[in-house]
Amino acid sequence: MARKAVRLSDIAEKLGVSTVTVSNALANQRGVSEELREKIKEMASEMGYHAPGTQIMAKTAVNIGVLVQERYLGNGSSFYWRLYQELAIACAAHNCLLAFCVLKPDEEKNTVLPVMVSDHRIDGLIVMGEISRAYLRMLEKEAGMPMIFLDFFAAEFDVDCVISNNFYGMYTATRHLIKKGHKKIAYVGSVKSSNSIADRYFGYLKAMRQYGLEEREEWIVEDRASGTMEIIEPKLPKDMPTAFVCNCDQTASVLIHELEGNGYRVPEDVSVVGYDNFVFMPVCDVAITTYGVDMPEMAKAAAERIISRVKGLDKGPGRLSIISGNLIDGESVRALI
């Protein structure tokens, strides 16, 4: 039977130190005393630790891995492809090299450690897009390197998180409709699909309740296929509202197509507002009024946080960075007053 590979966590357990300390010692990073560094290297040698592709020497560039679940990428362009491009630009400004890894559904289910992590090819890891808590717990235990979460927040982890202002952004979008005279407003988004969609839903609720408007169960419309992030055609309610606020612009585009297919005109008959200012597969010709996400600023914040962690410049607790955007007027909203 093949011998089980020695992991950083195995060495750490033997010496009673953290996996981060072991990782830094083997990579000759700062923050580890020379005495402890030698002990770690000796223990690694005795235990037969081997990290393919690793050179135990100081590096002039910081190597960062970006991990994203396959479901977020689709068959072509997507929000996360665009965010990754912005991240590459932001990291290049700091002499930082990126390695991209797509997490397959079976790898997430079976908590398989990415090769770029197990082979010790990277100094830090950016997880882009929400994945299962079981997988995140495995990464926290096994990765042995700084991590941050981009575009999602997980309170149970002591990790830096960078997100868009989901709650306030959707509150702003809903309030925009209310100020235009709309009182019957539906929310389009599968609330249980992700924390981001849920946060946007709560922003919608805050605006509705603040202005004393009625909330109806039939006006909370699903937009994702069960158990996936695949966008589906929303089912129109029998009692039609005067406006819909959507958790993303792609959903807004699909909704407008569905409305037009059922004889409704946008914005003459029904108004629609989106979120994120990104449509990767347009299915309508209407310019959507939306709350735009500042992707360059999110990428910049993520790059600066992970580099600071890798270089040991920040050893404090994890921080939540919320990046605000702005409302962008399109052609999908009609004023009723």
Residue 18 sits in a domain whose CATH number is 1.10.260.40
> What's the residue count for the chain?
337
Claim to verify: residue 67 and residue 185 sit in the same structural domain: no
| Inside any domain, residue 125 | yes
Q: In the beta sheet, which residues pair with residue 231?
A: 224
Q: What CATH number does residue 280 fall under? A: 3.40.50.2300
Distance CA 253, CA 272 (A): 9
**pLDDT value for 175:** 98
Claim to verify: residue 22 and residue 35 sit in the same structural domain: yes
Residue by residue, pLDDT tens for the chain (337 residues) are: 344 567 777 888 889 887 777 777 776 665 678 888 888 888 887 887 765 444 433 445 789 999 999 988 865 558 999 999 999 999 999 989 899 999 999 999 999 999 999 988 899 999 999 999 999 999 999 999 999 999 999 999 999 999 999 999 999 999 999 999 999 999 999 999 999 999 999 999 999 999 999 999 999 999 999 878 889 999 999 999 999 999 999 999 999 999 999 999 999 999 999 999 999 888 899 999 999 999 999 999 999 999 999 999 988 899 999 999 999 999 999 999 8
Claim to verify: residue 144 and residue 194 sit in the same structural domain: no
Q: What angle do CA 312, 83, 287 make, to 5 degrees?
A: 150
Claim to verify: residue 254 and residue 179 sit in the same structural domain: yes
Claim to verify: residue 180 and residue 80 sit in the same structural domain: no
Beta strands 289-292 and 326-328, pairing class:
antiparallel
Distance of CA 246 to the CA centre of its chain: 18
**pLDDT value for 53:** 43
| Inside any domain, residue 329 | no
| Inside any domain, residue 328 | no
Claim to verify: residue 153 and residue 252 sit in the same structural domain: no
For residue 20, give every residue at least 6 positions away whose Cβ sits within 8 Å of its Cβ, in sequence order, or none.
144, 145, 146
| Inside any domain, residue 333 | no
Residue 39 tokens read as 């002990």
Claim to verify: residue 82 and residue 127 sit in the same structural domain: yes
CA distances, 322 to each of 103, 146, 295, 299, 325 (Å): 25, 20, 12, 12, 10
Q: In the beta sheet, which residues pair with residue 320?
A: 161
Claim to verify: residue 171 and residue 289 sit in the same structural domain: yes
Claim to verify: residue 131 and residue 213 sit in the same structural domain: no
Could you list the residue range(s) of the whole structural domain that residue 270 is in? 166-293
| Inside any domain, residue 226 | yes
**pLDDT value for 75:** 54
Beta strands 160-164 and 220-221, pairing class:
unpaired
User: Would the pTM of this model clear 0.85, i.e. be above it?
Assistant: no
CA distances, 171 to each of 210, 217, 303, 315 (Å): 10, 19, 28, 34
Residue with tokens 């630790």: 49
- Per the structure, the count of domains in the chain is 3
Residue 166 tokens read as 């989901």
Q: Helix or strand or coil: residue 184?
A: coil
- CA Rg value for the chain: 23
**pLDDT value for 50:** 62
Burial 198-233 (b: 16+ CB within 10 A, else e): bbbbebbbbbbeeeeeeeeeebbbebbeeeebebee
| Inside any domain, residue 132 | yes
